[in-house]
Amino acid sequence: MNYLRLIKDDFIQKEYEKLAYKTIVSDLIVDNIQGIKRAVDLEYWSDERDFARFGNFVPGNFYIFLYNGEKVTQRKEAYHDKVPVILALGVGENEKKMKYVYGLNFNLLPGITRAVILQEINDCDKIFFEENIYKEHSKNRHVFSEKVLKMLQPDGGLSFIKLIAEKYKIDKNSFAFRRYYLSRIEKYRMIDIWQWKYLPFLEYREGIRGAEIKKIQSMNAKTAR
pLDDT per 10-residue tile (average), the chain, 225 residues: 89 89 86 55 41 70 88 67 88 91 88 90 86 57 73 78 77 76 89 89 67 60 49
Per DSSP, 56 falls in state: T
**What are the Cα distances from residue 114, in Å, to 38, 45, 149, 225?**
21, 25, 19, 12
Distance CA 216, CA 199 (A): 17
Angle at CA 144, nearest 5°, toward 138 and 149?
A: 160
SS3 191: strand
Other CB atoms within 10 A of residue 32 CB: 11
The predicted structure's pLDDT at residue 86: 94
Instruction: State the burial class of residue 40 (Cβ atoms within 10 Å of its Cβ: 0-12, 13-18, 19+).
Output: middle
| 196 contacts 1 by C-beta, under 8 angstroms | yes
The closest of 181, 193, 183, 187 to 141, measured between CA atoms, is 193
The closest of 160, 166, 167, 173 to 220, measured between CA atoms, is 173
Q: Helices 111-124 and 158-168: crossing angle, nearest 10°?
A: 120
pTM score: 0.81
- Cis amide leading into 200 (omega within 30): no
